[in-house]
Structure 1
């Protein structure tokens, strides 16, 4: 709430309500991210309108944003197509991530403590999100994004963003594949931070390589038995 003084009087100005498009975007993004990885499906405007209680205009705008994020593809007169994620998709994305992150973390290591302190903050925040898979993955993305951006190559940073958009849905299922995966991720992130703090590019590259190798192995694992229930609980009601 903001107070403005005008001729000796205070006026109370309420903050604007969250735009309907943003509400629908957040709801729909979480829905798409928690869909079964190996299933393709269509999402229609009418279905989203009923589920969110909004009109078609904010739904249409939210779908366009998600298409820009690479999470779905709008098909005229049919709806939004959410493709299945294949094993080849997983392999390709992780190979590309390995190339980018190896190059970037070697340069990031030269920043030492200044970068490590920021990464410590992100690891601490991520540790508080164990019960929120979608938010945990978003924080994971911010951790790696911070390293990539610190390398100072904006072209690589932009390319990396497209890779992580593709991996959002993969990553959510990876942390569901094992009860220990969240703990392992946090430990591996802490090791990356300490390697960067040491200022040793080789050590930093090695810590990233271990983390990405284990991430790929987790993505190959079958989904945990309790996944369907936990994913549904995390996103609320479905269509």
Structure 2
């Protein structure tokens, strides 16, 4: 597991910390590459014992991030272009329905979305935090629609997209600025209470996101490789 960096000081249960560390580490792997992780190497890099590593790997396997292969370790499979398209198609169905429902809330709801866009605009130098804020923006819309079953399903989609998007969406600051503009168009439509325009803005945003995800891995933003949660 070459290139694994030691984790910085963190707080919380050993299993939860190891789980978050592993999830972030996997997210930073190129999506077209498959690799094996071993309990001992992860434990050493994460600064924990093998027991929480084993428990974290089981959680990640249940979520579809890895496959545990007896006597070999945890296999992180490559992500195909077909899987990327499938996830984005599912996201579009959920987000189109939810944005059209929440658009009726108009200016009051738009205030919270504007706050999130402003926060995200301040994170251009921090791609990990930028993506985290992006997720909060979309999650806020989905949850506001008031369907907990759909919200839970949506979270699983975003979990699957972590590895797809962390490297691809923020490989260049120009894409990040485009995301801010696209989010701004969504907010403007919600502010006006225009459900049709809001749906179109979401569709345009997800279409450009899919295009960015489809570009082969290139150099990431300076400093991305050096960042880990809690470092």
Q: CA RMSD in A?
A: 2.1
Q: What residue number does 1:234 align with?
A: 227
Distance 1:134 1:33 in 2: 10
- Tell me if the contact between 2:127 and 2:221 (Cα under 8 Å) persists in the aligned partners: no
Q: Paired residue for 1:94, among 65, 88, 95?
A: 88
Q: What residue number does 1:60 align with?
A: 54
Q: 1:71 to 1:127 in 2, by over 3 A?
A: farther
Q: What residue number does 1:190 align with?
A: 184
Instruction: State the SS of the aligned residue for 2:227.
Output: helix
Distance 2:59 2:130 in 1: 21
- Tell me if the contact between 1:44 and 1:80 (Cα under 8 Å) persists in the aligned partners: yes
Distance 1:192 1:138 in 2: 18
Q: Paired residue for 1:104, among 87, 98, 121?
A: 98
**Matched residue count:** 220
Query: Is there any run of 5+ residues in structure 1 with no aligned partner, and where?
Result: 1-16
Asked if residue 172 in structure 1 is aligned to residue 162 in structure 2, the reply is no
Tell which deviates more after alignment, 54-63 or 69-78.
Answer: 69-78
Computing the radius of gyration from Cα coordinates, the structure with the larger value is 1
What TM-score do the two structures reach when normalised by structure 2?
0.87
Instruction: State the SS of the aligned residue for 2:68.
Output: strand
Distance 2:141 2:37 in 1: 35
Query: Is there any run of 5+ residues in structure 2 with no aligned partner, and where?
Result: 1-10
CA deviation digits over 1:169-199, x for unaligned, max 9? 1111222343301111111111111111110
Distance 1:60 1:114 in 2: 46
Structure (1/2) with the larger strand percentage: 1
Equivalent positions of 1:1-239 (< 5 A) are 18-224=12-218, 226-227=219-220, 230-235=223-228
Q: What residue number does 2:6 align with?
A: none
Q: 1:121 to 1:109 in 2, by over 3 A?
A: same
Distance 1:74 1:177 in 2: 30
Tell which deviates more after alignment, 59-68 or 206-215.
Answer: 59-68
Distance 2:63 2:205 in 1: 25
Shift of 1:25: 2.3
- Tell me if the contact between 2:31 and 2:79 (Cα under 8 Å) persists in the aligned partners: yes
Structure 1 segments (4+ residues) deviating >4 Å: none
Instruction: State the SS of the aligned residue for 1:67.
Output: helix
